[in-house]
């Protein structure tokens, strides 16, 4: 029997390309092999199920791998602290990588000038000095008390304007000048004497060497009666910078001052305080001028 050029007929394989199901052109009188067709269809369905199952497993593995990669990438290889993600700044809050940090040249403010330095020595204390500069005006108001300004005096012979033990103290410490002024209120009068030295050390030493008998001479005249010439009066001694200052206060009627005469004590304290303020203001003015140069 001849099968033509192709030789014997090939077995039909439903999974082989170009494979054809045997078919009799109708002349053989045979019907299709329905059992073989059913087996082939079942084989195809089974193979599709196996492919779907295999493909799903591969997809699951791929998705799991992608998630793992995403988690590792997000964590950057480290474990994030709770709530850290909500605290991360937005991109607009992050500093620009090209930004530059501003730099400032180091600066330091000079220390403030000490007013006392300008009245501590004759080398720096160069401002004009006179009774009217140190004690200006015609009256002085301290609180609610008003004192009337009386006579003034200025001498380079310090000992001549002092008495008892004070002349020696002034001479031993090289006093260069003694300025005096008198103020009055009612029947009371007080004289302030400001002794000028070249250095603060000399003024401080004069203050330390002065005792209860170191008294500046009271200054009368110009309508102010003589006072504290023979009567008991109240005296004070102090120093600031290169200045030592003394007060003597009493009654113009010549009576002695006792501990009960508190207005006299107040008068001496007021003038002592005012003298201190004036010397300090002198230093402040010179310090301010030096700072503005």
Out of 65-74, 182-191, 268-277, least confident range? 65-74
- Is the CB of residue 250 less than 8 Å from the CB of residue 265? no
The confidence band for 113, taking pLDDT boundaries of 50, 70 and 90, is confident
The confidence band for 23, taking pLDDT boundaries of 50, 70 and 90, is very low
- For 98, which DSSP code? T
Cα separation, 33 vs 42, whole angstroms: 15
pLDDT value of residue 250: 97
pLDDT value of residue 72: 41
pLDDT at 15 over 70: no
The pLDDT of 13-23, averaged and rounded, is 51
Closest CA to 123 of 69, 178, 199, 181: 199
Q: What is the pLDDT of residues 31-64, one digit of tens each?
A: 556 566 666 666 666 666 555 445 554 445 444 4
Q: What is the pLDDT of residues 127-181, one digit of tens each?
A: 999 999 999 999 999 999 999 999 999 999 999 999 999 999 999 999 999 999 9
pLDDT value of residue 40: 64
Residue carrying the six token digits 């591969």: 58
pLDDT at 223 over 60: yes
User: How many C-beta neighbours within 10 Å does residue 175 have?
Assistant: 25
Cα dist from 49 to 61, 67, 282, whole Å:
19, 27, 111
Cα dist from 169 to 90, 165, 172, 204, 207, whole Å:
81, 7, 5, 11, 9
- pTM of the entire predicted model: 0.63
185 contacts: CB under 8 Å, gap ≥ 6? 145, 146, 147, 148, 267
pLDDT value of residue 148: 98
């Amino acid at each position: 029997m001849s099968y033509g050029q192709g030789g014997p007929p090939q077995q039909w394989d439903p999974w082989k390309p170009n494979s054809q199901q045997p078919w009799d052109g109708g002349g053989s009188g045979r019907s299709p092999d329905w059992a073989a067709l059913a087996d082939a269809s079942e084989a195809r369905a089974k193979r599709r199920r196996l492919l779907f199952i295999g493909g799903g497993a591969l997809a699951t593995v791929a998705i799991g791998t992608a998630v793992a990669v995403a988690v590792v990438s997000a964590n950057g290889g480290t474990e994030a602290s709770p709530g850290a993600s909500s605290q991360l700044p937005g991109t607009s809050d992050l500093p620009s990588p090209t930004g530059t940090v501003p730099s400032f040249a180091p600066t330091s403010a000079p220390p403030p000038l000490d007013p006392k330095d300008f009245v501590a020595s004759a080398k720096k204390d160069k401002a004009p000095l006179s009774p009217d500069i140190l004690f200006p005006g015609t009256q002085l108001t301290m609180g609610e008390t008003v004192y009337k300004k009386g006579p003034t005096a200025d001498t380079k012979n310090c000992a001549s304007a002092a008495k008892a033990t004070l002349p020696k103290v002034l001479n031993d410490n090289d006093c260069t000048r003694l300025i005096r002024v008198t103020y009055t209120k009612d029947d009371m009068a007080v004289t302030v004497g400001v002794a000028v030295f070249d250095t603060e050390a000399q003024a401080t030493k004069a203050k330390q060497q002065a005792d209860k008998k170191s008294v500046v001479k009271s200054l009368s005249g110009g309508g102010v009666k003589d006072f504290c010439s023979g009567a008991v009066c109240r005296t004070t001694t102090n120093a600031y910078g290169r200045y030592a200052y003394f007060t003597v206060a009493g009654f113009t009627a010549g009576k002695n001052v006792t501990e009960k005469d508190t207005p006299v004590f107040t008068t001496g304290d007021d003038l002592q305080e005012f003298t201190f303020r004036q010397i300090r203001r002198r230093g402040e003015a010179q310090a301010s001028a030096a700072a503005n140069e």
